[in-house]
Structure 1
Amino acid sequence: MSSKNSQRTEPGAQEERAPKEELNKKITEQKIVVDELSNLKKNRSVYTQQPNSNIFFLADKEETLSACKKDLDNMRKELQDI
């Protein structure tokens, strides 16, 4: 019960934790994507989804991997800034 009371008395702490937790989840997901792309065989096809649609287009594996790594680095920097 004491943990519930401390959460009620410190609303700012809970608001601060929520973005960090969500960003940590996104970072974990992005790590998985990078690992999966890194471990694909050379002849495997990679498709990327167009924003706000259900349409996928064939993409270059190396370009997709570098874009995912860049996104992961940006997320890590954002987490450090929080």
Structure 2
Amino acid sequence: MSSKVTNKDQNLDGQSAERKVELNKQIKEQTVTVEELSNLKKDRKVYVQQRNSNILFLADRGQTLSSCKQKLDSLTKELQDI
């Protein structure tokens, strides 16, 4: 019986490790996005891809940068909570 508990614990540890790896990947991607948006010239256009779509829409650079920073903060917080 104790071996089953150990297997469950190992499975949870494996899932947690996989989630940490995925979060680190997403954090790196989001960091690059924030840096790219921060370094754009003021007159450059920014396009955002809608979920589940291949269509790009013109977006406000400031709002896009703000939402990317918020997403980065939430990913960082989630990683710290694990």
Deviation for aligned residue 1:11: 4.2
Name the CA distance, whole Å, in 2 between partners of 1:77 and 1:15: 18
Give the 3-state SS of the residue equivalent to 2:57 in structure 1.
Answer: strand
User: Could you tell me the TM-score, scaled by structure 2's length?
Assistant: 0.84
Three-state SS of the structure 2 residue aligned to 1:47 is strand
Matched with 1:23 is 23
TM-score, with normalisation over the residues of structure 1?
0.84
Q: CA RMSD in A?
A: 1.0
The Cα of 1:12 is off from its aligned counterpart by: 4.0
**CA displacement 1:34-80 (0-9 Å, x = unmatched):** 00000001110000001100011000000000000000000011111
The letter of the residue matching 2:27 is I
Structure 1 runs of 4+ with >4 Å offset: none
Aligned residue type for 1:75:
L
